[in-house]
Structures are given as C-alpha cells and as structure tokens.
Amino acid sequence: MRESDRERPEPQPKKPLGIAVGSDHPGYEVKCALMAALEGLGHRVTDVGTDSPERCDYPDYAERVAAAVSAGEADRGVLVCGTGIGMSIVANKFPGVRAAVVWDRYSTEVSRSHNDANVLCLGARVLSPAELVELVGYWLTVEFEGGRHVRRVDKIRSIEERNFRGR
C-alpha cells in the first residue's frame, strides 16, 4: 500500500446506484462475488452475463454493460475479464462511457476523482477476488473532484462528439 493511500480519509458511501455488471469466463467467479457485495451495499445490480464459467467472448458482455451506461439505463458499470484490458477497449467505444482499468487503490481513486470514470474494468487474473471486491467498493465512494479536471473531461467529451457525430 502506498503511503499516500494511508493518509487519505475513507470516503463515505453514496446513495444506491444502478450498476450493470458483466464478465467473461475468467471473471465469472469474481462477478458473482461482486454482485453479492454490491447488492449487500444496497445497489441495484443488473447482471448482463456470462452465466457460467464456460468459455465465451468478452466483447459480448462489455458491449452490454457499456450500452446500458451509455443509454443511461445504469449509473455505472463493472466489467471483469482476465486483465480488464479487453473489456475496457470495448466499453470505450460507446458514447459517454469512460472505462478505466484499475489495479490498486490509487488507480481506482484517480479513475473517479480525475477522470470521472463510469465503468470500472478489472482483471480476475491480476488480483484476488477479495482485492477486486474491495476496489469496487472503494470506487463507488469516490466522487469526481471537478476543478481542473472538468476541462480535461470536457475535452474527452468533445473528441467523442466529433468522432461519433453522424453515426
């Protein structure tokens, strides 16, 4: 744990959110644990699959979560594959989605506080299920800081609008 992580005050939980959760086969067990933890925190959880540890293709589930967040059907999304990378590539193809791969408490915090990420991408082969559940719980308490970061997130939106216009 970084020294800066120990110095930060623990954020307080926010109001219940609608959260779409999806995984491929490497992330299936973690997804199940995450859903139970999120429901235990009072969040409204939508499971978009996969429904078993049988081999499947991660783009199918990343698309479902990202589409739900993009359309405003879910406040946030959580995706789990082997590394989180493939899921993030797919999720970031959707308007309004800012998907971030995280691997520790600091990257988790900054994904929200600086980047206003609304989809969290996790690697089931990178961290333990307990570590991933902890990171998701933390991510849901972190607020976007605004300030100097608003200009940068607005630039992301502007790039997105130029590239999705007319599609």
Q: Which residues are catalytic?
A: 81, 114
Identity of the residue numbered 126: V
Q: Kindly report the CA angle at 23 between 19 and 27, in degrees rounded to 5? A: 120
Region of 10 please: left (phi>0), alpha (psi -120 to 50) or beta: beta
Q: Which residues contact 2 (CB under 8 A, 6 or more apart)?
A: 104, 105, 106
Which phi and psi (to 5°) does residue 56 adopt? -155, 180
3-state secondary structure at position 34: helix
In angstroms, the CA 151 to CA 94 distance is 20
Nearest to 39 by CA among 24, 67, 19, 66: 19
User: From CA 104, how far away is CA 127, in angstroms rounded?
Assistant: 9
